[in-house]
Amino acid sequence: MRHSVRAALLQEVNGPFVIDEVELESPRANELLVRVTASGVCHTDLTYRAGAGRFPLPAVLGHEGTGVVQAVGEGVTDFAPGDTVVLSYFSCRACATCVSGHPAYCQHGPAGNVSGARPDGSFPMRWKGQPVRSSFFHQSSFATHVLAHQHNAVKVDASVPPELLAPLGCGFQTGAGAVLEAFRLQAGQQLAVFGAGAVGLAAIMAARVAGASSVIAVDLSPERLELARELGATDTFLATEPDLTKTILKRTRGGVDFALECVGLPQVLRQAFDVTRSLGTCGLLGLPGRDNPNVTLPMMGLLVGRRLVGILEGDADPKLFIPRLINLHAEGRFPLERLSCPYPFEAINDAVHDMETRTAIKPVLLMEGGCSP
Ligand SMILES: [Zn+2]
Ligand SMILES: [Zn+2]
């Protein structure tokens, strides 16, 4: 059986999203049919819109969905119709990497998340009779209904507003997970965050939760630095400031314990690396653009015990970490509402424009009855 639903189709690289009717399959084994209530827009969606996926279009993007389970396929035991779920990234939960507790690096992750297809290569949606890429992060949440996998769905408290739940699936998990899971930052340690967007600001909120002694934020925008301060940054710097790394090294007396690159640019990664102290760790979160830039690092800088690590999805297991973030929010320690900016689904191109022009930090599309932007 097929269901007629609405989805935002991307038909050409950097083109607009066009909302149209598509046919969605019924759930297969291990899948959930989810009525989407909201979906965040993440920088990864924009990078894929700009052609990073190199897969044929049209495609339905979106990977920060939340909604209500309508039906479940064979073999689904932990979910039932009526459950509220947050959709995160796909992992097989069975390979050696998943079993070791790091599902973000699942050996089947690339096939299940960024091919635009299911891990077996099939597509859940058809448009004008033709299959389209519609399983981005096993959800393609820029749609009113999607097929998710039981491995990338997390059952959550239905009382939290959808515009707060949606971005937990990727952006907020990535920033907060980097600090709390990948770094396991301890009270009294220092963090520097380059890029105060949704990911960087989530990292800053998490650093306050962990009791960081100083949290440095760097961004191009004075408004974002002001917000970073309100959310926990102790020192802020404009990215254009001359001798930025020297100033930060001086301020931190030789560098920070942890630095995070949240932009995806080689020169910013180099700055983050340079302000990390010996035995400290510099983490890369930003997704580089299609040109796949390279970075040059001083070998001596590594030799003195600095670590450089790439971090996907905060190295967090969504089944454990998303409920933890929801609890922190309930305690008033993770104020998601400061970052989330709702748009009606029909205004998806405005949301994308506002994200690209940095006027909205975390646009969230409301699939039903969203207020005007
Ligand atoms: Zn796996
Ligand atoms: Zn994302």
Task: Name the DSSP class of 143.
Answer: B
Locate tokens 């079993």: which residue?
Answer: 99
Identify the pLDDT of residue 291. 75
Task: Name the DSSP class of 59.
Answer: B
User: How sure is the predictor about 371, in pLDDT bands with cuts at 50, 70 and 90?
Assistant: very low
CA of 199 to the centre of ligand 2 (A): 9
User: How sure is the predictor about 245, in pLDDT bands with cuts at 50, 70 and 90?
Assistant: very high
Using CA of residue 347, residue 161, residue 90, residue 363, what is the dihedral sign?
positive
User: How sure is the predictor about 369, in pLDDT bands with cuts at 50, 70 and 90?
Assistant: low
CA of 41 to the centre of ligand 2 (A): 8
Mean pLDDT of 206-215: 98
Write out the DSSP string of 338-351. Answer: GTEEEEEGGGHHHH
Ligand at minimal distance from the CA of 90 is 1
Write out the DSSP string of 294-362. Answer: -----HHHHHTT-EEEE-SGGG--HHHHHHHHHHHHHTTSS-GGGTEEEEEGGGHHHHHHHHHTTS-SE
Identify the pLDDT of residue 288. 87
Tokens, residue 296 = 């040059």
CA of 200 to the centre of ligand 2 (A): 13
Q: Which of 262, 246, 96 is nearest to 179 (CA)?
A: 262
Ligand at minimal distance from the CA of 109 is 1
Question: With 90 as the cut, is the pLDDT of residue 99 above it?
Answer: yes
CA of 250 to the centre of ligand 1 (A): 43
Length of the chain in terms of residues written:
373
What confidence tens digit (pLDDT) does each residue in 11-21 have? 999 999 999 99
Question: With 60 as the cut, is the pLDDT of residue 243 above it?
Answer: yes
Question: With 60 as the cut, is the pLDDT of residue 372 above it?
Answer: no
Q: Which of 307, 286, 314 is nearest to 103 (CA)?
A: 314
Beta-carbon contacts of 105 under 8 Å, excluding residues fewer than 6 positions away, are 97, 312, 315
Omega prior to 110 cis, within 30 of 0: no
Cα separations in angstroms, 90 against 30, 111, 172: 12, 9, 16
Question: Which residues are near ligand 1, the ion (C-beta closer than 5 Å)?
Answer: 91-92, 95, 98, 106
Q: Are 164 and 64 in contact (CB under 8 A)?
A: no
CA of 275 to the centre of ligand 2 (A): 26
The Cα 31–Cα 71 span in angstroms is 9
CB atoms within 10 A of CB 223: 12
Alpha helices in 103-143 (DSSP H): 109-113
Q: Which of 103-107, 189-193, 285-289, 355-359 has the lowest mean pLDDT?
A: 285-289
Tokens, residue 135 = 């399983």
What confidence tens digit (pLDDT) does each residue in 288-336 have? 877 768 999 999 999 999 999 999 999 999 999 999 999 999 999 999 9
Ligand at minimal distance from the CA of 44 is 2
Identify the pLDDT of residue 373. 33
Question: With 90 as the cut, is the pLDDT of residue 357 above it?
Answer: yes
CA of 121 to the centre of ligand 2 (A): 21
CA atoms within 13 A on the CB side of 15: 14
Q: Are 81 and 71 in contact (CB under 8 A)?
A: yes
Q: Are 14 and 51 in contact (CB under 8 A)?
A: yes
User: How sure is the predictor about 260, in pLDDT bands with cuts at 50, 70 and 90?
Assistant: very high
Identify the pLDDT of residue 33. 98
The Cα 370–Cα 373 span in angstroms is 9
CA of 253 to the centre of ligand 2 (A): 34
Locate tokens 């999607």: which residue?
Answer: 146
Mean pLDDT of 92-109: 97
CA of 105 to the centre of ligand 1 (A): 7
CA of 120 to the centre of ligand 1 (A): 14
Cα separations in angstroms, 177 against 8, 174, 180, 292, 372: 29, 5, 5, 25, 32
Tokens, residue 248 = 């930060």
What confidence tens digit (pLDDT) does each residue in 156-200 have? 999 999 999 999 999 999 999 999 999 999 999 999 999 999 999
The Cα 319–Cα 300 span in angstroms is 40
pTM score, whole prediction:
0.96
Identify the pLDDT of residue 309. 98
Identify the pLDDT of residue 370. 46
19-39 burial, b at 16+ Cβ within 10 Å, e below that, comes to beebbbbebeeebbbbbbbbb
Ligand at minimal distance from the CA of 287 is 2
CA of 92 to the centre of ligand 1 (A): 4
Beta-carbon contacts of 187 under 8 Å, excluding residues fewer than 6 positions away, are 210, 211, 212, 213
If phi over 0 gives left and psi between -120 and 50 gives alpha, with beta otherwise, what is residue 294?
A: beta
What confidence tens digit (pLDDT) does each residue in 26-73 have? 999 999 999 999 999 999 999 999 988 888 999 999 999 999 999 999
Who wins on pLDDT, 70 or 373? 70
Identify the pLDDT of residue 360. 95
CA of 99 to the centre of ligand 1 (A): 7
Question: With 90 as the cut, is the pLDDT of residue 2 above it?
Answer: no
